[in-house]
Amino acid sequence: MDRRSLIRGAAALGAAGVAGLSAPRAAQAAGPAGMPTYTYLRDALRLPLSYNPTGEFIFPCIRGVYDKISGARGRYYLYYAPHEKPGGICVAWANSLAGPFTENPGNPVIDNVLPSTTVSHVSSPHVTWIPESRQFYLYYHGENTTTRVARSSDGLTFRDETPILSTRLVPGLTETSYARVFAHSGRYVMVYMGVLGGKRHIYHGWSPNGWDQWQFAQSPLVSPAPDRLTDISGPSLVVRNGTTYVAYHGNDGKMRITEVGNNFDRENHLGVFYSPGAADNGRAAAPSFGTDGGVQYMFYEAGPRLSARICIARAA
């Protein structure tokens, strides 16, 4: 069964309600899909850090918490992690998306010794606010074959770690990681990286509540070949122009956007929306978007994978 049939049979997903990128000012629409022009602003984190076991950090996730919890350390929480062993899910905070961010002295908030098992590393944090339960759900991988979820009422103390996706659920895949989850038409949609035939693709799944009852499409949502790449990863869902897109990075160090449609039944590759600048040291990856005071920001990995930093770019 192909992807289109799978989606029609399991879930017809619409566009309303996605926590994605919006376009407050039409003048910013400069790139494919009307994506704004982003310019490097600064590194997100002040060095040295108290928790920095490997000298590299990946997969930023920015979340506004000021309207969700009382006693927050800042208006915005930035989640990130090293990837190399032992990894560790980390948090920093600031009162503006322009940063810089202050490291949580209690990092990591999740380490590789989990309640159910010990893994070589945990990484790629993505946090979604679930209004139905009034909790933050944190999605992350450890090992690369398994995506997990934990939950928290304050965004800092997570519990109830449980696996929700592994390679056994999508035959043919050798990795299932780098997941992000977004509210989408009354459901929660996951986009993640799956390795098929030694190449990285973007896959997706869906759940009624973001915690359990997950279903996963058995074929890729976005493939690298139309971009003339071998690998794509770091997906993020974007809703604008009345339709749905996936933003992601490729093995050439550039970030691209592809329309998948409100029913996740298209694959319209639209091209590069961000090429690495001088501060990015040849690579930009894993975008996470936010808006503060009507200004759009993008948090992303910059630099070679084994020495990546977390950077902030601002829309022109």
**Model pLDDT, residue 174:** 98
**Model pLDDT, residue 29:** 52
The segments of the chain whose pLDDT lies below 50 read: 1-28
Count other Cβ atoms within 10 Å, centred on residue 25. 12
Positive or negative, the Cα torsion across 245, 126, 196, 205? negative
Non-local (6+) Cβ contacts of 97 within 8 A are 62, 76, 290, 291, 292, 295, 297, 312
Give this prediction's pTM: 0.91
**Model pLDDT, residue 103:** 98
**Spatial CA neighbour of 255 closest among 300, 307, 308, 306:** 300
**Spatial CA neighbour of 38 closest among 305, 299, 308:** 299
Strand order in the sheet with 159-166: 123-130, 135-141, 146-152, 159-166
**Model pLDDT, residue 305:** 86
**Model pLDDT, residue 1:** 36
**Model pLDDT, residue 11:** 34
